[in-house]
Amino acid sequence: MNIMSHSDLPAKRRLLIVFGTRPEALKCFPVARAALDHSGFLTRICVTGQHRELLDQVIQLTSLPVHYDLNIMQPGQTLFDITARVLTGMAEVLDEFKPDIVMVQGDTTTAMAAALAAFYQRIPVAHVEAGLRSHNINSPFPEELNRKVAANIATWHFAPTALARDNLVAEGTDPANIFVTGNTVIDTLLHFSATIDADAMMNTELSSRFPYLDPTKKMILVTGHRRENFDGGIDRICHALRVLAARGDVQIIFPVHPNPNVRGVVDVELGNVPNIHLITPQEYLPFVYLMKHCYMVLTDSGGVQEEMPSLGKPVLVMRDNTERPEGVAAGTARLVGTDIDKILSNANALLDDQAAYRGMTGRHNPYGDGRASTRIIEELLRHV
């Protein structure tokens, strides 16, 4: 019988997972949890604090350990500030932890700058949610370029869909380094949706946060924050929402992004409109509660496009293009831009025509099945 000595045991791979915003944290949570539990990795988590308060909410909710906190957020920060501070902060973390792999997620400036920092130290990068493309470098801005920079640096590419893989192959990425896994946001959504369903007290507490909700009216959930909509787009969205609210059989819930380019317009245009409730940005669990109870969603968010098919709710995407076209192709989402007539005609059709509504809700979610994180960790360990 051969007894393996400690020196014969395979060494743990040192994995550094970096994120800085609420969407990244939500999508990294299941991957980080899988990595922390895996005997093949010594995992450390670094947060940049690109979004401080919203990021901290997710850290508290998920109980993820934070080993390094760059705490970069400043009032009025610019893309120049974020990039420079992430690069400088990452240099110290990389020198201290000396990771074998740096993992980044998605398309934020944190992801791009952290990947670049790893490249400067010649540390291989794993890119989660790789390969999404709008094929318009200015939309979404700066996310489209951020994601492409991360892709050019990364060694391993975890693509959520076959189309994302095809985008990477078309750009010259070695297919052997691309792994189609599904999107980790579905893992997170299904985890917390089940948590809400299983906990009656939690349901009651979440319901009590929204006492103004009228169960006799169809709830339309709205989110909007994209930079490309600042130049008139938010105004047009507000115009369409005022018309929809006048129907009387709907109630519109709009968690308003704190960016002055959004809030400054929305407060003026919609502040006193009947059937419209402007609320503060919600923590994740209350937002999941709203997603579960809404009739449909109007959004310019990427993550919401991915999540809603798993809850059986149609999505009208208030953008002219999307780096997530799989939902449009599958029929779970529809591009309406910020054109007032398109928003109204599509929303009214879903409100008035049950066949049209069912046509968008009885679809398979093209973005994943809730097991993406396990696939990512297993593939990463197999190929490092």
Q: Is 160 exposed, middle or buried (0-12, 13-18, 19+ CB in 10 A)?
A: buried
Q: Is 143 a catalytic residue?
A: yes
Catalytic residue chosen out of the listed positions 22, 44, 225, 319: 225
Q: Is 129 a catalytic residue?
A: yes
Nearest Cα neighbor of 237 from 298, 282, 287, 278 is: 298
Q: What are the Cα distances from residue 7, in Å, to 3, 4, 10, 12, 300?
A: 11, 8, 8, 12, 53
DSSP conformation letters of 230-275? TTTHHHHHHHHHHHHHTTSSEEEEEE--S-HHHHHHHHHHHTT-TT
Catalytic residue chosen out of the listed positions 24, 143, 187, 323: 143
Catalytic residue chosen out of the listed positions 107, 144, 300, 307: 107
| C-alpha torsion 296→299→301→304, nearest 10 | 0
Backbone Cα Rg of the chain: 21
Cα maximum dimension of the chain: 79
Q: How far apart are CA 39 and CA 164, in angstroms?
A: 30
Q: Is 334 a catalytic residue?
A: no
Catalytic residue chosen out of the listed positions 13, 227, 242, 363: 227
Catalytic residue chosen out of the listed positions 129, 187, 300, 326: 129
Q: Is 323 a catalytic residue?
A: no
Q: What b-and-e string marks burial along 319-345, b requiring 16 or more CB atoms within 10 Å of the CB?
A: bbbbbbbbbbeebbbbbbbbbbebbbe
Catalytic residue chosen out of the listed positions 257, 319, 324, 375: 257
Tokens read off for 269: 């245009």
Active site residues: 107, 129, 143, 225, 227, 257
